[in-house]
Amino acid sequence: MTGEARHAETDTGPLDGVTVLDASRVLVGPFCTMQLGDLGADVIKIERPGSGDQTRGWHPPTYGDSEESAYYLSVNRNKRSLTLDLGSEEGRDVFRTLAGEADVVVSNFRVGKMADWGLDYQTLREENPGLVYCALSGYGEWGPDRDRPAYDLIMQAEGGLMSITGEEDGAPVRVGVAIADIGAGMYATQAILAALFERELGDGTGQKVDISLLDGQVAWMSYMASYYFATDVPPGRMGSKHPTIAPYQAFPTDDGYVVVAVPSPNLWATFCAAIDREDLVDDERFADNAARVDHRDELDAILEAEFEAYSTEELLALFDEFGVPASDVKNIEDVFENPQVRARGMRQSVTHPTAGEVDMAGSPMHLSKTPASIRQHPPLLGEHTVEVLREFGYSDEEILRFDDDGVV
């Protein structure tokens, strides 16, 4: 079944009936709540009246002739926008009313700000003991750095990622997307789902979730951290190479690059056959993976000379014929034209009231019974303010007064 057909099959997901109050902005929180929305939750995005989420103004690029920021649209689908001035007491009262009936609150204001407003977990749980409250921040809610400002670039540096990314003798390089934000957003989604599950299995009460960008980056060090713990030597930058597998990297060809992965003895023999260099199998310097790692420089020199005699297309055809894992280095256009990516529903579109047809990356969460889906365009600023407030019991007269007073 194609991704497009699956998208059309259902209007709900496994989180149908779950209400998420999203008091986050920019990337880490919106990425988290977008995933919850893709899974069927009703996500109510709280935005500042007049300006909204900062990323609404992050352009170019925009879609077509509209003023809709491509950045904002990328992480805010499946949400309803409610403008609300949390700097006003009336605005905070409205937030408390909504939080009293919500299942989840997500916030990424600076540490302590929600407490200053009386919108912290301890306060909100008094009216709603079942509330799951997720606080996102750069450094977390305790520790000596809890009040420091944090941005993805800083987190990639401070969390170790830039120390292992880039060429061996080159400058440190950041990963090309805001991976610290996205990683923390993924951890937040996991933790929220776990807290909701525990609430259902337990006594019905919720709990607080504390997620930091720095913790997420440190956790992602995974086997690189283990290499350090085992040797007391911090791993360094190796470009596309792998510290314990060879060959496992990008090699230049006559007209580009080919990335090849040879992590097993059988694949080594097959790889050598594919490039007509069976002699390398019997070379003691390359007898097994450990030997190839020890003699990496010699092996790289041999393989670079071999690869440069081929075009990228020729090498990919050979490796495909022999079953060797390999790829060219695709750009973003190549990725979204890839038949496999399209077959998996990873290129989706939604009709937006001002931007027209908006293409976006689909959800990678494929569930057989209650699939994730894109049901709603990224909202216009305040598009659902009246609708949401009516649902929570506010009269048209109260809503009009809120509007006159700048509360919404």
- Residue 174: burial class (beta carbons within 10 Å; 0-12, 13-18, 19+): middle
Distances (CA, A) of 88 to 153, 398, 401: 33, 15, 14
- Residue 230: burial class (beta carbons within 10 Å; 0-12, 13-18, 19+): exposed
- Which residue reads 């880490």 in tokens? 28
The tokens describing 326, both together, are: 């390999």
The tokens describing 246, both together, are: 């060879």
For residues 250 and 293, what is the distance between their CA atoms, to the nearest angstrom? 15
**Strands across the sheet containing 79-83:** 79-83, 42-47, 19-23, 104-107, 132-137, 208-212
Beta strand 42-47 with 19-23 is parallel
From the candidates 38, 85, 152, 181, give the one annotated as an active-site residue. 181
Please measure the distance between the N-terminal and C-terminal CA atoms of the chain and give it in whole angstroms. Answer: 43
What angle, rounded to 10 degrees, do the helices at 28-38 and 179-201 form?
50
Residue type, 278: E
- Is residue 288 annotated as a catalytic residue, yes or no? no
For residues 192 and 205, what is the distance between their CA atoms, to the nearest angstrom? 13
105 and 134 Cβ atoms separated by less than 8 Å:
yes
Q: Which residues are catalytic?
A: 181
